[in-house]
């Protein structure tokens, strides 16, 4: 039986996964209000915080609210703000409640990073359709087919061992340069006026206006 020397070597592999790294501590603040806002009226709290945005940005910019918690890299003592909203005077107290634990097993950290990363993407001023983002300013036109193609990408957070990874996939959006009426008219011609066939084609499609 012949033996052979098998040599192994490290093979570099590139992928579209990038490690999420946060070197800055993220401080947590509990939101208390007087009168108390019930947990099932989170929308009311968000509207009040929106009215207080300019005031809060003086102390905590940047910051990200989520439910009754505010996250910020800025460390601050208790903050108290008063505001009249819908004929009710609210006292909003922003109370320090510790530091966000950024380990991959921490569910709170995953939720925060997902929302924070989404917030960063919104500042890119791209067109969001579902979970995907497209750059309509870098479009490619195909006039002979009345089509425009937008380049874009989609992202997701994943956990692998002790790392939190961001997956970035490229994608494209094909946009028809025709009106809904023109499209329906072409379908009516194709299916000889069969409205059921036309309905099957258009139901579920997305319509965008300029």
**Residue 3, pLDDT above cutoff 90:** no
Q: What secondary structure letter does DSSP report for 37?
A: P
Mean per-residue pLDDT for 8-17?
A: 80
Mean pLDDT of the chain: 87
Q: What is the DSSP string of 91-137?
A: EEEEEEEEE----TT-HHHHHHHHHHHHHHHHTT-PEEETTEEE-GG
| 59-117 residue pLDDT tens | 998 888 988 999 999 999 999 999 999 999 999 999 999 998 876 677 788 788 888 78
| 141-153 residue pLDDT tens | 998 888 899 999 9
**Secondary structure (3-state) at 64:** strand
6 — pLDDT class (breaks 50, 70, 90): low
What CA–CA distance (Å, rounded) separates 65 from 67? 7
Residue 152, pLDDT score: 94
Phi, psi of 194 (to 5 degrees): -75, 100
Give the percent of the chain with pLDDT over 90: 41
Predicted TM-score (pTM) of the model is: 0.63
Distances in Å between the Cα of 182 and the Cα atoms of 20, 56, 173 are 46, 50, 20
Which neighbouring-strand residues pair with 149?
A: 140, 174
Whether the CA torsion 197, 187, 141, 139 is positive or negative: it is: negative
> Any idea where the domains of the chain sit in the sequence?
24-99
**Residue 4, pLDDT above cutoff 70:** no
128 Cβ neighbours under 8 A, 6+ residues apart: 121, 122, 134
**Residue 35, pLDDT above cutoff 80:** yes
Identify the burial level of 63 via C-beta atoms within 10 angstroms of its C-beta, where 0-12 means exposed, 13-18 middle and 19 or more buried: buried
Task: Tokens for 11, please give them.
Answer: 């093979």
């Amino acid at each position: 039986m012949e033996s052979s020397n098998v040599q192994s070597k490290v093979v570099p592999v590139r992928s579209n996964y990038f490690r999420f790294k946060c070197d800055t501590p993220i401080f947590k603040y509990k939101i208390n209000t007087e009168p108390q806002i019930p947990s099932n009226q989170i929308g009311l709290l968000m509207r009040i915080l929106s009215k207080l945005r300019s005031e809060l940005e003086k102390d905590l910019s940047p910051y990200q609210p989520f439910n009754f918690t505010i996250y910020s890299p800025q460390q601050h003592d208790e903050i108290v703000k008063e505001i009249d909203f819908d004929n009710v005077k609210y006292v909003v107290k922003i109370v320090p409640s510790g530091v966000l634990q950024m380990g991959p097993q921490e569910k709170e950290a995953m939720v925060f990073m997902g929302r924070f990363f989404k917030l960063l993407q919104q500042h890119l001023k791209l067109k969001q359709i579902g979970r995907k983002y497209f750059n309509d300013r870098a479009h490619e036109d195909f006039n002979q087919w009345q089509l425009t193609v937008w380049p874009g990408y989609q992202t997701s957070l994943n956990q692998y061992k002790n790392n939190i990874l961001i997956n970035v996939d490229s994608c494209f959006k094909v946009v028809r340069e025709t009106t809904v009426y023109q499209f329906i008219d072409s379908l009516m011609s194709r299916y000889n006026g069969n409205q059921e066939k036309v309905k099957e084609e258009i139901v579920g499609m997305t319509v965008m206006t300029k």
